[in-house]
Structure 1
Amino acid sequence: MGETEKRIETHRIRCLSKLKMFLLAITCAYVSKTLSGSYMNSMLTQIERQFNIPTSLVGFINGSFEIGNLLLIIFVSYFGTKLHRPIMIGVGCVVMGLGCFLQSLPHFLMDRYEYESTVSVSGNLSSNSFLCMENGTQSFKPTEDPSECVKEVKSLMWVYVLVGNIIRGIGETPIMPLGISYIEDFAKSENSPLYIGFIETGAIIGPLIGLSLASFCANVYVDTGSVNTDDLTITPIDTRWVGAWWFGFLVCAGVNVLTAIPFFVLPKTLPKEGLEDIAETIKNDKEEKQSKVRKKSVGITKDFLPFMKSLLCNPVYMLFILISVLQFNAFVNMISFMPKYLEQHYGKSASDAIFLIGIYNLPPICIGYIVGGLIMKKFKITVIQAAHIGCWLSLIEYLLYFLCFLMICDNSSVAGITTSYEGVQQDLHVGNGILADCNMDCNCPTKIWDPVCGNDGLSYMSACLAGCETSSGTGINMVFQNCSCIQTPGNSSAVLGLCDKGQDCSMMLQYFLILSVVSSFIYSLSAIPGYMVLLRCIKPEEKSLGVGLHAFCTRVLAGIPAPIYFGALVDSTCLHWGTLKCGESGACRIYDSTNFRYIYLGLPAVLRGSSYIPAFLILIILRKYRLPEENASSETMLEAKFTGKENEGKETDQNSKVLNDDELKTKL
């Protein structure tokens, strides 16, 4: 008898360790999928410049991930629970790796990146043909040569990135709904919030690594190793700079494939965590399999429509979906375009912007998720209490968010665009003259963006438009002298690049980042309680489908359209577009910072504000609405007492015990 008890105890430990093994594996899967997602979001500006496409198209490429995801999300969420969930998750990780590899392919199929410049990287840098030359002939004007225009078809290579992102979305589909439902099915109800908190922490560690990788890649020139970087006339802070975006996708591909390995050795089912008798559980598994065989003839989809009807008639669940759609619209926009906002508004390089986001935003979110899960476990928070915690904490963070409107910087002073050549601010919506008396006879191109910073603190679109006549040095160290448009005493000169925005703007950036730390922590504290409301407001047998339907709605109504319409709104604030060889518009080079700020901060504020109407309705409904989870909890307590009585007389009451176990297994 002692050996039997020892064997059962060993079996229990092994099964519990498998649950912990699954928890570790699914956390790693969250790390790998969010690593890829955060890297993709961080590289949007690099992709935009590499392929010379507008922000709205970049938004569509970013939203294509959700397109791939929604193709399978409902079916995976429903049918996945009837199949081998760990193996499905493992296959999904491999598919994500394939998608990441496909996204990196354009770099190996395209020619080297050529940025618009009045100074050719491969040309004679000592030549003065790009300076102010009265009655001269400029050789860098856009060409209309058909052969040159055909070469620019290479920009269609962005389709590879689009398709790869769709495939990555397909691969990510089973991870969230099947992983969460697996934990919910086999973990104790009081441990579930903590486990989900750990998983969500993995969803923060992934972006932290992804942003670090993106910051590194954005600081490395896209064609490093095949070009002499000493000859470059741009730096990472320049809006024409393109980092080595392709390298990070190769790293993400390898990580995703490695993450898939543990799932192929995990079992399809596990005993419920905390059950006392493993032998009973094994018998229940056999009974469940027999029950499945009996039901097979009825059809696997018989309960799909009843489940859908039950979910659609659940007021708390439907209101929660409405809240999620509004909130996701706001956060998808903010997260996707935050690097661009820090670049354009505060004058940071893409590498610095990505690094700052990772350092300031992700650690407080990670801590908030863990603390939120611990609070739920420690104080045994009920669903109604969780709803109040999530709602009011989110509202506090929302009110703090409005302080961001005070942390502003002025537009970059660019002569002929944002200011006059005398340094006076201009109306940005009136057609401004690129040419002035000081450069009228210089025969300068008026579309090519190759900015220089004069020693008067004013930026100019090119050295030629600054009226510079001579130059010295090579590459990024070039200095231009005798600039007729730069009105300073003594010798007027200019250097490559836009002028710095100044110390005041740097201070505003620090305030913005500190506020984002506080806001991120408060909002993440409310995330776990809010998510538990979603999980506990639906019946246990509908949980996987409910999570999948929630994800489907947020992707269709937020994940896909939000980057597209937000990108189009951002495009509307562009002040100067880049120019391709054929004279067509490329990627935007400079934005109206004021209007950009109103769109970037204002639109999410409106969306989030409207989400609190259904949130307050949920609080009202929960006063009278009895949740399925509460019913299940009360019944489970009664069953526990009943099971205790059975243990006193197992042999005389075997039939009753089998019935009780069958009911318990059904609920689990």
Structure 2
Amino acid sequence: FLAALSFSYLSKTFSGTIMKSSITQIERRFDLTSSTVGFIDGSFEMGNLLVIAFVSYFGAKLHRPKVIAVGCFTMALGSLLTAMPHFFMGYYKYETASHTASSDNLTSSINPCFLHQGVNETLLEVSRSGCEKEPSSYMWIYILLGNMLRGIGETPITPLGISYLDDFAKEEDVPVYVACLHTIAMLGPMFGFLMGSLCAKLYVDIGFVDLGSITITPQDSRWVGAWWLGFLISGISSFLAAIPFCFLPKSLKKPDEANNDKTSYNYSPVIMPCIFQSQLIYPFLSDFYTSLKNVLSNRMYFTLLCCSLLQFNSFIGFFTYKPKYMEQQYGQSTSKSNFLIGLTSLPPVSIGIFLGGLIMKKYKMSIIGATKFAFTMSFLAYVVSLLHFFVGCENHVVAGMTVSYEGKPIPYHENAIFSECNSGCKCASNVWDPVCGDNGLTYVSACLAGCTTSVGHGKNTVFHNCSCIEANSSWTGNNSATLGQCPKSEDCSMKFIYYTVIQVISGFCYSLGGTPAYMIMFRCVQPELKSLAVGLYTLIMRVLAGIPAPVYFGALIDKTCLKWGSTSCGQRGACRLYDSNAYRYVYLGLSAVLRGPSYLIGILFYILIKK
């Protein structure tokens, strides 16, 4: 049973991480804003909350392993449903200025500058007619439903799995088994991010499209990786996890020393089962009401709850948009950011959690000791993470958006894409198909750079005679440009290393205090209210942090967008370019502002506990 449960834990954390690592890809593939993606991400918690009460109560009466099996099958179904839209949507058309060029594989020179003359009117009509037929705009609802189904399926694993272990294992073995489960569960996110990284390297329509004709690289903000592949794999792993549970008995032979005096820890992480367990509902409800009042009027528990709520909001929002931050701030590809999160952020955290438990056991910490330890570690992590503000990179240098065509910085709102040097060309202003000039400036498209000839095909196209590069007075070299944005400076890759180091240190410190902090919650309520306290805690964290945090973080991040993409219908697509400085202050600032006050509440908690 332990082996089967461990595998199901692994596959549930694995599929959860696949979702987190595919967020930016889904945003680009379906042309969504960050806040919508945040909402999709939160749908997992919603599914979870829908059924948790019924599962914890009725599940305990039914055949527990079979209920868990049904849960795993539901998770598998959810993952497969999430991947479905890919197969119905047709190929991914990223926006590009040269549609006509790619259709015939001629290496003859195309003139980007006059490409749109005459074809402008027909192109518009064509794209309008193709527009009504485009079903993809609402396909993201399938992802939302799939994620919700996954949330529903995940519900029985923890409460029923742990209560089953608790009922049929020797009492002194239970903590070891639970620790074992959590350690194995930590491998899930690692594999998930590494898998996400692998999928993000592959082009979304791999196997269906000639990869030679694709003009974007994984570093490009229009690149979409094979996001659906991760969901297919996680679906298969959930399906495999379900199989062993079908063959497990309803109950096992109890070990001999399990006498009647064994106090069963009720780990069921929810309140509702307590309500249903009595046939005499009315007297019971009043009793339940008293317990609830007792828990909430416990000042220590209440301050701990507020403190954790702020921490969780900050942490969930931070974690959801972390891959995106690494892409936008340091110019990393989605694939590399996922790989690095899997490799650098998670191992220190799991080691930290484990060590925290060991330290607590070795020094036999009292509640005051545990509070001091958890508070110090968390605060240390907070101070270290404030260093992130100093290791940001400068904005991408994009002519007409962040700098003028002469290369001088311009304010955030004064972007003038058109300039004298490209006035001779008829360019579309809403297309994002960046080229990198030899002078180190990025231009929004080859047409806006004033280029008149191009050589080569696919990723290797080079544009020549670009009038805007000539116009740049300080530049004397070639007047040619290559596809894609210019890379960030050398200085930036150095800062990225500092960023990773800070991340590892603060993650480790934070997680060291994790186990003691979790134990404090058990110790500041009366023993008979333990399970209610844990249930209430989980419920409040999910409703007030898990669901809203990704949404409002996303909404604020959208505010820092400089250039929105456009769909084939000319509607607003996903964001292509953010203002790096504004993004950094919003993302890190919001996270810091949420976490800061939680330490004041922490001090209050410490005073209460001392009393």
- Equivalent of residue 561 in structure 2, options 544, 559, 574: 574
Question: Once the two structures are superposed, what CA deviation does each residue of 1:309-354 show, in whole Å capped at 9, x if it has no partner?
Answer: 3332333333232222211111111111011111111001110111
For the 8 Å contact 1:190–1:380, the answer to whether it is kept is no
1:173 and 2:155 equivalent? yes
Question: What letter matches 2:419 in structure 1?
Answer: A
Which piece of structure 1 moves more, 590-599 or 48-57?
A: 48-57
Conservation of the 8 A alpha-carbon contact between 1:573 and 1:596: yes
Aligned counterpart, 1:12: none
Show the counterpart of 1:224. 206
Task: Choose the corresponding residue for 1:326, options 295, 298, 310.
Answer: 310
Deviations, residues 553-586 of structure 1 (Å, cap 9, x unaligned):
1111111111111111111100001112222111
Letter in 1 for 2:468: C
| Correspondence 1:277 to 2:257 | yes
The reply to whether residue 113 of structure 1 matches residue 92 of structure 2 is yes
Equivalent residues of 1:138, 1:443 under 8 A apart: no
TM-score (norm 1): 0.82
Distance in 1 (alpha carbons) for counterparts of 2:262 and 2:313: 47
Match of 1:519 in 2: 506
What's 1:461 paired with? 444
On the 8 A contact 2:116/2:427 being kept in 1, the answer is: no
Q: 1:48 aligns with which of 27, 32, 45?
A: 27
1:73 counterpart residue number:
52
Of residues 162, 178, 181 in structure 2, which corresponds to 1:199?
181
Instruction: After TM superposition, give the deviation of residue 470 of structure 1 in Å.
Output: 0.9
Matched, 1:424 2:404: no
1:132 aligns with 2:113: yes
Amino acid at match of 1:176: T
Residue aligned with 1:489, SS: coil
Counterpart secondary structure, 1:388: helix
Matched, 1:473 2:464: no
| Partner Cα separation in structure 1 for residue 94 and residue 223 of structure 2 | 8
Distance 1:145 1:454, change over 3 A: closer
Displacement of 1:138: 4.8
Judge conservation of contact 1:30–1:203 (CA < 8 Å) in 2. Answer: yes
What's the counterpart of residue 536 of structure 2?
Answer: 549
Q: Whose radius of gyration is greater, 1 or 2? A: 1
Between the aligned partners of 2:224 and 2:215, the Cα distance in structure 1 is 13
Equivalent position amino acid for 1:298 in 2: L
Does residue 420 of structure 2 align to residue 437 of structure 1? Answer: yes
In structure 1, the residue matched to 2:269 is none
* Shift in alpha-carbon separation, 1:399–1:548, aligned structure 2, 3 A: same
Residue 585 in structure 1 maps to residue 585 in structure 2: no
Contact 2:295 2:301 in 1 (8 A): yes
Greater Cα shift, 486-495 or 181-190: 181-190
Letter in 1 for 2:158: M
**Cα distance in structure 2, aligned partners of 1:573 and 1:269:** 56
Residue among 347, 358, 372 paired with 2:342: 358
Offset of 1:181 from its aligned partner?
5.2
Equivalent position amino acid for 2:576 in 1: R
Q: Does residue 1:607 correspond to 2:594, yes or no?
A: yes
Q: Compared with structure 1, are the counterparts of its residues 384 and 72 closer, same or farther at alpha carbon in structure 2 (3 Å cutoff)?
A: farther
For structure 2, the residue ranges without an aligned partner over 5 or more in a row are 265-273
Residue 449 of structure 1 deviates from its aligned partner by 0.3
Structure 2 CA distance, aligned partners of 1:159 and 1:234? 27
The letter for the 2-side match of 1:446 is: S
Given the alignment, which residue of 389, 413, 416 partners 2:373? 389
Q: 1:145–1:516: structure 2 CA closer, same or farther, 3 Å change rule?
A: closer
Quote the residue 2:218 is aligned against: 236
1:513 CA drift (Å): 0.2
404-413 or 607-616, which deviates more: 607-616
What whole-Å deviation, never above 9, does each CA across 1:31-78 have from its counterpart, x for those lacking one? 211111111011111111111111111111111111111212344445
Amino acid at match of 1:434: I
Match of 2:267 in 1: none
- Say if 2:512 is the partner of 1:531: no
Secondary structure of the residue that 1:243 maps to in structure 2?
coil
Which residue matches 2:11?
Answer: 32
* Other-structure match for 2:382: 398
Paired amino acid for 2:314: A
Quote the offset at 1:187 in angstroms.
6.8
Question: Larger deviation: 220-229 or 32-41?
Answer: 32-41
Aligned to 1:341: 325
Structure 1, residues 340-386: CA drift from partner, whole Å, max 9, x if none? 11111100111011111111101101111221222233333333322
Cα distance 1:84–1:311, how it changes in 2: closer, same or farther (>3 A)? farther
For 2:506, the aligned partner's letter is S
In structure 2, the CA distance between the partners of 1:467 and 1:186, relative to structure 1 (3 Å rule), is: same
Which amino acid counterpart does residue 456 of structure 2 have in structure 1? G
Instruction: Tell me the amino acid that sits aligned with residue 564 of structure 1.
Output: V
Q: CA deviation at 1:297?
A: 4.7
Residue-by-residue CA offset, 1:508-543 (whole Å, 9 max, x unaligned): 000000111111111111111111122333455544
Q: Is the 8 A contact 2:109 2:455 kept in 1?
A: no
> CA separation of 1:314/1:436 partners in 2, compared to 1, >3 Å: closer, same or farther?
same
CA spacing shift, 1:384–1:79, aligned 2, 3 Å = farther
Distance 1:99 1:496, change over 3 A: same
For the 8 Å contact 1:81–1:544, the answer to whether it is kept is: no
- Superposition deviation, residue 437 in structure 1: 0.9
Number of aligned residue pairs: give it: 591
Deviates more, 1:396-405 or 1:192-201: 192-201
Q: Secondary structure at the match of 2:37?
A: helix
* CA-CA distance at 1:489 after TM superposition: 2.3
The gaps in structure 1 that reach 5 residues or longer are: 1-20, 286-291, 625-668
Change (3 A) 1:395 1:81: farther
The answer to whether the Cα contact below 8 Å between 1:383 and 1:536 also exists between their aligned partners in 2 is yes
1: distance between equivalents of 2:63 and 2:366? Answer: 32
Letter in 1 for 2:495: M
CA offset at residue 388 of structure 1? Answer: 2.2
Please tell me whether the aligned partners of residues 111 and 451 of structure 2 are also in contact (alpha carbons under 8 angstroms). Answer: no
The one-letter code matched in structure 2 to 1:507 is M
- Secondary structure (helix, strand or coil) at the match of 1:71 reads helix
Which of the residues 280, 283, 297 maps onto 1:313?
297
**Counterpart amino acid of 2:603?**
F
Q: Which whole-Å CA distance do the structure 2 matches of 1:495 and 1:276 have between them?
A: 75
Distance 1:608 1:143, change over 3 A: farther
Point out the more displaced range, 72-81 or 200-209.
72-81
RMSD: 2.8
Q: Retained in 2: the 8 A contact 1:177–1:544?
A: no
Give 1:481 deviation, angstroms: 0.9
1:147 aligns with 2:126: no
Is the alpha carbon distance of 1:154 and 1:195 closer, same or farther for their aligned partners in structure 2, counting shifts above 3 Å? same
Q: Which amino acid aligns with 2:425?
A: C
Cα deviation code 1:484-509 (max 9, x no counterpart): 11133243111100001021000000
**Maintained 8 Å contact 2:377/2:510:** yes
Contact 1:360 1:513 in 2 (8 A): yes
Q: What TM-score comes out, normalization by structure 2 length?
A: 0.90
**Per the alignment, do residues 266 and 542 of structure 1 end up closer, same or farther by CA in structure 2, a change over 3 Å counting?**
farther
1:410 aligns with 2:394: yes
Is residue 162 from structure 1 mapped to residue 144 from structure 2 by the alignment? yes
The 3 A distance-change label for structure 1 pair 433 and 444 is same
Show the counterpart of 1:123: 103
Structure 2 vs 1, CA of residues 196 and 283 (structure 1 numbering), >3 Å: closer, same or farther?
closer
Q: Percent identity?
A: 50
CA contact (8 A) 1:194 1:376 kept: no
**Residues 283 and 309 of structure 1, relative CA distance in 2, 3 Å threshold:** closer
CA spacing shift, 1:47–1:412, aligned 2, 3 Å: same
Q: In the alignment, does 2:427 pair up with 1:448?
A: no
Structure 1 Cα separation of the partners of residues 164 and 306 of structure 2? 25
Change (3 A) 1:323 1:283: closer
